[in-house]
Structure 1
Amino acid sequence: MLGSSWNQVLAQAPTKDEHPCAVTRTASTSLLLADGITSLGHRDLMRQYDMHWYKLDLQLERNSTDVSGSVTLYASVVATSMTEFAFELHPNFTIEQVTLDGTPCTVRRSGSEVIAVLPVAKSRQKKVRMQVRYAGRAPSGASAAIGNGFNTGLTPYGPFSWSLSEPFAASEWFPCKQLLYDKADSVEVWVTTDVLNKVGSNGLLQRVTPMPNQKHRYEWKSNYPIAYYLISVALGQYEEYSFPVTLPGAPQPMLVQNYIYPQTLPSVKADIDITASFLQIFSEHFGLYPFYKEKYGHSMAPIGGGMEHQTMTTQSSFGFTLTAHELAHQWWGGEVTCADWSHIWLNEGFASYSEYLALEKLRPLDKRGWLTTARSSAASQETGMVFVKDSTSVPRIFNSALTYRKGAMVLHMLRHAVGSDALFFKILQAYRKEYQHKVATTRDFQKVVERETGKPYKYFFDQWVYGEGVPVLNVAYAQRGDSLYIRSNQTGTSPVTPFFKTEVEMKITTTVKDTLVLVQQNKPLEDYAFKVPGTVTYVEIDPSAWLLYTGFSNAKEDVSIVPIGREPSGIYPNPTSGMINLMGWRNPSQVTILDMLGKTVKVLRPEGRSFSVADLRAGVYLLKAEYGAELITYRFVKL
């Protein structure tokens, strides 16, 4: 989900989590974790069954928020015995009847919490088919991320209606179970409407059935698992613009089906067409588009952004990064869903970073500007975690600086930390495969990272996802002859996380050449030393914009940092295409180079502190330098 108007509101007050129309819930604890906003007791009742299938059979129009019809919920019992079937439906709607396999049930209601008393108890593994007939007007009050569960709006092309259920507003237009972990195995969406309307929804359009009184019924069906908030409708006097796309690994071309405002095709066609390139890029990076057996597409609506409804995103326009973002959600949010809203960065941070990946491939001149904006936004939020403490607060869930921008920067920094694009995308593909059509937490993702790299990354996620603020770098340098001394003094913008263990790239510019070095900052104050040719004119920090930090981008000259009787250590250049230089004044007695699996690939006894690794294959290696009884280990990248 990406909403420009919502993000602008948040940007104006980045440290506030309040919004006058947001659904919030207060509690005495400092950590509120929730799938939804119903009471704990009602959630426990809903956990007594496992959803298999929704069938929505509704009457809707393009100029009204009136909703009527029936919804069938097909599930199986997971409790030992179930006597009550709990679900959610906003109190604006009158429930006309609830039946279990055709037999009427007694109904109790409290706000949006509904309980149907079963005529007979159902034991474990038994199936239940509940049909809810209801009618009413969807509420206003902006309880969804952008707007309400079901909305109508006037455009220059006429009125349009649409749904937007994220995070807790599905019950504002249909009876449902709003628990993220319990995806339905499939969904059918039938909408009876004026014959002039087209209706967009999930999956494939099965048929359009003529109905009495100048109406027809659009019948959509999706056979993929789906989270409740991704079930959708959009309707109005659309024109259809569709085209096939061939994806690598797909057995046949896939349909990209678009319902657009009438007479707008000349102005939006080029922006929609780029969806084909996005599909190919993301399929290469993440694996084949998850729903290739059905479709992808868009339905236009005046929502001020986009919402990633499964297989058919709702968008107000087709800007490059907006379209890329919402498509990426089909992998990150649709196929792999955050286990609860506290881990929403696994949806939004991943989709936001996908904007950068699309720019990297198609508009490389624009990628630096994207990074600059993302870093500035993320660094502006000095308090608050990427992890959402209060996952019942809609504004906090969709905080632009933390959830979207800092979440994206976490992935960007992880990409650099693992040292290889091939390994980074292998991690994403492995994560996607392991949690395909399931839900995941941050620690689940961390485990995949550690398994694929063979290295611990708890420190990384503890500081960037569960920590607060960003590092502040104060870097100084001094030159004495051919020796360059650099001191990095790091503090944090938040006392919650006063120090970030991280790698820092620096570009050393001399009168002879430029050299890129990679240093490890393991404590707040670190000293490094290098041998350099010529006179140093400039030391640039993080020249390729891999790190989220604040402070000056260039080091200041400070002669006081020249060490007295202290020997710094390190290697440079890193990455290297051939030569490696060891910092310090001693020569190692032996150098051993190992691959990331711990296998020795090279043993050297260099005469000095410089030697060649040109014969190594490209990749990430460990270097162990022996100084008598002392052993120092470094990581380096061979280009």
Structure 2
Amino acid sequence: MFCHCMKLLMPVGGLIALKRQIALFLVLASFSFVQFAHAQRKATESCAAARMVTTPMLLADGITSEAHKELMRHYDLHWYKLDLQLENNSVAISGNVILSATSMVSSLTHFAFELHPNFTIEQVLAEGVPCTFERTGSEVVAVLPSAKGKQETVEVQVFYSGRAPTGAASFVGNGFSTAATPWGSVTWSLSEPFAASEWFPSKQLLEDKADSVDVWVTTSVANKVGSNGVLQRVTPMGNQKHRYEWKSKYPIAYYLISVAVGPYEEYSFRTQLPGMAEPVLVQNYIYPGILASMKTEIDRTGQLLQLFSELYGIYPFHREKYGHSMAPMGGGMEHQTMTTQSTFEFSLTAHELAHQWWGDEVTCAGWSHIWLNEGFASYSEYIAYERLMPANSRQWLEMANQNSLRQPQGSVFVTDSTNVSRIFSSSLTYDKGALVLHMLRHALQNDALFFQILRTYRDEFKYKVANTRDFQHVVERVSGRSFQYFFDQWVYGQGYPIFDISWAQAGNTLQLRSRQHTSSKETPLFRTEVEFRIRMGQKDTLVLVQQEENLEDYVFKVSGTVTGIEVDPNQWLLEAVNAVQYDATLLPGQLLAYPNPTTGQFYLKGNRGVVEEVAVFDVLGRHIRTIRSASSAMSLADLGAGTYVLKVKAGGEMTEVKIVKL
């Protein structure tokens, strides 16, 4: 969904303002890597924030009632035709919209749709015949002149006019907005998740994609209009107006239908995709005069199209186009075939393009499963860095981990899908959602299998909707393994694991203990793969273990002196590490002096029984002293620096331990 550019680290209103400043800065200045990395993170947050209101309203306003949803399920929508009058500096809308559908019931007598009450409905026609309608808020029900039987077609045309809601009165800020930029005013739509009805009569059910859409917009001749699909023609209309006529023949969810109106310049090119005879058009409507500063980043779109087509399968809408329309929205929105985007930088462009597969072609079946859109698009940012800019990939992971750890409670699955702030949580939906895929990839231990799973999921649900369990079933079928535990804990569970690691070495044996607790009592254990780097000077070794219980002990053979243990060095796991420490009691039958070396005071630790006495010798074997009833701290403070031998009697047995006095 929204382009994902920033994390919610400040009030949403401040973030939106900041996003706009960043967008302008990106246009006018070049970035160092550090600045670029910060912009990449802000891409996630701005995407999330751009969908939200500028006031701290959490719950969506005007959610469709269940009764009205049920009425809308009485028909299968096939086609929208929008024929609107719009300008680049106004939220005034007038025109008509055709909704063409098939009855799904034996007698369809009422045709339900949604349109914001700001708009006056001037007339509703059914099959060209005027019909009456009833209206409650945004919910409209037209009474058909005659009943339609099951599988019979029905066409309803709605004539309306008014001004789209402004001032953050809607649930995502606004579904239709206008704003001034240094390059002229721009008007644009942003319907996700519930705001299509704020600018056109619509059926806002994810489960019912339209089979095709026409978007006609009449506007001043100084403007261009970006929208979905292929531009069929620009028709002169007189009075210094012309009409842009766009058509898309691919299935499309209601919230992905779009318009952007502004004094644009067009910059377009074609890029060759693997295995395709014809190159795909990349059509960009950009602010006038900025091409020189933006061209390099816009051109990356071609490279990203090639990469994602290789990994996920050919770009889903290759018979039409991909492209961008610029608007000062503080991020991006993955409108099908033509993303609306505030600026161009690597992660933002990658994120919104990846949505064409994950969100547009395969759409989440409900807003509770939004991570299937946003997590997948966010992880595609990482994949793009990994393949095309590998030096930057580590920092992406670090930032995704840090942002996810800021939310120790709450699940990736959205339990309240009327809460827009929660739907677009940058910590849970975007970054933790992305890390779920990263951890799945690691659990599979096979990159080819991981991408095969993504392609299979895409093939099975292309142009349809899917939920989390649908994706899980694909994972299990393709991998041949059960991943019930994985999805239960990482998607439906809450929090993340926190590790306390202790270790000890005796000869070539390393004993390691991993004790796990979690950030949320809702998920008391994460069954997961954990990597450890065993540091031994120049002989570091990487080991992978499976943690199945909160307390696990592992034994490894090592070839040198262990100097330390690093948990998850390659950042495959969302986790926190509380402590990593040496613990001599882990070694069965061992008795150790610590600290060793010591400046004077030392202790004995082990499991050979009560220490009865300790005889201290120098390296020449000369007896220095005997300490009896040695059950507490002992001291060598009065001795010179060097190595000493402790002969310890414990449990009726004698043991020698060497200690170094500094």
TM-score after normalising by structure 1: 0.84
Instruction: Give distance in 2, aligned partners of 1:504 and 1:406.
Output: 17
Structure 1 residue aligned with 2:349, among 323, 326, 345? 323
Structure 1 residues 220, 512: closer, same or farther in 2, change over 3 A?
Answer: closer
One-letter code of the match for 2:3?
L
Alignment of 1:267-286 (within 5 A): 267-286=293-312
Structure 2 SS opposite 1:555: strand
Structure 2 residue aligned with 1:427, among 453, 460, 470? 453
Instruction: Give distance in 1, aligned partners of 2:177 and 2:133.
Output: 27
Instruction: Give distance in 1, aligned partners of 2:230 and 2:586.
Output: 67
Confirm or deny that 1:24 pairs with 2:49.
Answer: no
Structure 1 residues 8, 162: closer, same or farther in 2, change over 3 A?
Answer: farther
Instruction: Give distance in 2, aligned partners of 1:223 and 1:564.
Output: 74
Q: Please tell me whether the aligned partners of residues 144 and 165 of structure 1 are also in contact (alpha carbons under 8 angstroms).
A: no
Who is 2:3 aligned against? Answer: 2
Q: Please tell me whether the aligned partners of residues 198 and 236 of structure 1 are also in contact (alpha carbons under 8 angstroms).
A: yes
Q: Point out where structure 2 has 5 or more consecutive residues left out of the alignment.
A: 16-44, 591-662
Confirm or deny that 1:542 pairs with 2:542.
Answer: no
Deviation track 1:94-139 (CA, whole Å, cap 9, x = no partner) reads 0000000110110100000000001111110010010000000000
Structure 2 SS opposite 1:175: coil
Alignment of 1:405-484 (within 5 A): 405-484=431-510
Structure 1 residues 146, 324: closer, same or farther in 2, change over 3 A?
Answer: farther
Q: Please tell me whether the aligned partners of residues 384 and 468 of structure 1 are also in contact (alpha carbons under 8 angstroms).
A: yes
Who is 1:203 aligned against? Answer: 229
Who is 2:539 aligned against? Answer: 513
Confirm or deny that 1:94 pairs with 2:120.
Answer: yes
User: How far apart are 1:563 and its partner, in Å?
Assistant: 4.0
Who is 1:70 aligned against? Answer: 96
Structure 2 residue aligned with 1:168, among 177, 194, 202? 194
Q: Please tell me whether the aligned partners of residues 59 and 193 of structure 1 are also in contact (alpha carbons under 8 angstroms).
A: yes
TM-score after normalising by structure 2: 0.81
User: How far apart are 1:393 and its partner, in Å?
Assistant: 1.0
Instruction: Give distance in 2, aligned partners of 1:189 and 1:177.
Output: 16
Structure 1 residues 454, 112: closer, same or farther in 2, change over 3 A?
Answer: same
Who is 2:528 aligned against? Answer: 502
User: How far apart are 1:3 and its partner, in Å?
Assistant: 5.2
Alignment of 1:181-220 (within 5 A): 181-220=207-246
Instruction: Give distance in 2, aligned partners of 1:317 and 1:153.
Output: 15
User: How far apart are 1:562 and its partner, in Å?
Assistant: 2.0
Who is 1:255 aligned against? Answer: 281
Structure 2 SS opposite 1:217: strand
Structure 1 residues 509, 142: closer, same or farther in 2, change over 3 A?
Answer: same
Alignment of 1:226-625 (within 5 A): 226-511=252-537, 513-552=539-578, 555-563=580-588
Structure 1 residues 110, 451: closer, same or farther in 2, change over 3 A?
Answer: same
Q: Please tell me whether the aligned partners of residues 113 and 202 of structure 2 are also in contact (alpha carbons under 8 angstroms).
A: yes
Instruction: Give distance in 1, aligned partners of 2:82 and 2:356.
Output: 22
Who is 1:608 aligned against? Answer: none
User: How far apart are 1:10 and its partner, in Å?
Assistant: 6.6
Who is 1:134 aligned against? Answer: 160
**More divergent stretch after superposition (152-161 vs 137-146):** 137-146
Q: Please tell me whether the aligned partners of residues 567 and 577 of structure 2 are also in contact (alpha carbons under 8 angstroms).
A: no
Confirm or deny that 1:221 pairs with 2:247.
Answer: yes
Structure 2 SS opposite 1:404: helix
Q: Please tell me whether the aligned partners of residues 512 and 535 of structure 1 are also in contact (alpha carbons under 8 angstroms).
A: no
Runs of 4+ aligned structure 1 residues displaced above 6 Å come to 10-14, 16-19
Percent identity, please. Answer: 62
Confirm or deny that 1:51 pairs with 2:107.
Answer: no
**More divergent stretch after superposition (462-471 vs 146-155):** 146-155
Structure 1 SS opposite 2:576: coil
Instruction: Give distance in 2, aligned partners of 1:219 and 1:19.
Output: 33
Structure 1 residues 250, 8: closer, same or farther in 2, change over 3 A?
Answer: farther
User: How far apart are 1:548 and its partner, in Å?
Assistant: 0.3
Structure 1 SS opposite 2:489: helix
Who is 1:602 aligned against? Answer: none
Instruction: Give distance in 2, aligned partners of 1:451 and 1:265.
Output: 47
Instruction: Give distance in 2, aligned partners of 1:395 and 1:294.
Output: 34
Q: Please tell me whether the aligned partners of residues 144 and 164 of structure 1 are also in contact (alpha carbons under 8 angstroms).
A: no
User: How far apart are 1:21 and its partner, in Å?
Assistant: 5.8
Who is 1:147 aligned against? Answer: 173
Structure 1 SS opposite 2:431: helix
Structure 1 residues 563, 134: closer, same or farther in 2, change over 3 A?
Answer: farther
User: How far apart are 1:551 and its partner, in Å?
Assistant: 1.4
Instruction: Give distance in 2, aligned partners of 1:510 and 1:388.
Output: 44
User: How far apart are 1:6 and its partner, in Å?
Assistant: 7.5
Structure 1 SS opposite 2:349: helix
Deviation track 1:489-510 (CA, whole Å, cap 9, x = no partner) reads 0000000001100010111121
Q: Point out where structure 1 has 5 or more consecutive residues left out of the alignment.
A: 27-35, 566-639
Q: Please tell me whether the aligned partners of residues 7 and 403 of structure 2 are also in contact (alpha carbons under 8 angstroms).
A: no
Deviation track 1:427-480 (CA, whole Å, cap 9, x = no partner) reads 000000000000000000000000000000010000000000100011111001
One-letter code of the match for 1:448?
V
Instruction: Give distance in 1, aligned partners of 2:281 and 2:296.
Output: 17
One-letter code of the match for 2:423?
I
Q: Please tell me whether the aligned partners of residues 22 and 143 of structure 1 are also in contact (alpha carbons under 8 angstroms).
A: no
Q: Please tell me whether the aligned partners of residues 501 and 512 of structure 2 are also in contact (alpha carbons under 8 angstroms).
A: yes
Instruction: Give distance in 1, aligned partners of 2:244 and 2:428.
Output: 39
Instruction: Give distance in 2, aligned partners of 1:258 and 1:560.
Output: 66
Instruction: Give distance in 1, aligned partners of 2:572 and 2:517.
Output: 18
Alignment of 1:100-111 (within 5 A): 100-111=126-137
Q: Please tell me whether the aligned partners of residues 55 and 168 of structure 2 are also in contact (alpha carbons under 8 angstroms).
A: no
Structure 2 SS opposite 1:387: coil
Q: Which has the larger radius of gyration?
A: 2
Instruction: Give distance in 2, aligned partners of 1:20 and 1:372.
Output: 30
Instruction: Give distance in 2, aligned partners of 1:322 and 1:399.
Output: 17
Structure 2 SS opposite 1:154: strand
One-letter code of the match for 2:485?
Y
Structure 2 SS opposite 1:506: strand
User: How far apart are 1:272 and its partner, in Å?
Assistant: 0.2
Q: Please tell me whether the aligned partners of residues 109 and 144 of structure 2 are also in contact (alpha carbons under 8 angstroms).
A: yes
User: How far apart are 1:249 and its partner, in Å?
Assistant: 2.1
Structure 1 SS opposite 2:222: coil
Structure 1 SS opposite 2:520: coil
Structure 2 SS opposite 1:278: helix
Instruction: Give distance in 2, aligned partners of 1:379 and 1:564.
Output: 40
User: How far apart are 1:147 and its partner, in Å?
Assistant: 3.0
One-letter code of the match for 1:532?
V
One-letter code of the match for 1:560?
T
Q: Please tell me whether the aligned partners of residues 491 and 499 of structure 1 are also in contact (alpha carbons under 8 angstroms).
A: yes
Structure 1 residues 346, 422: closer, same or farther in 2, change over 3 A?
Answer: same
Structure 2 SS opposite 1:2: coil
Structure 1 residues 277, 226: closer, same or farther in 2, change over 3 A?
Answer: same
Q: How many residues align?
A: 554
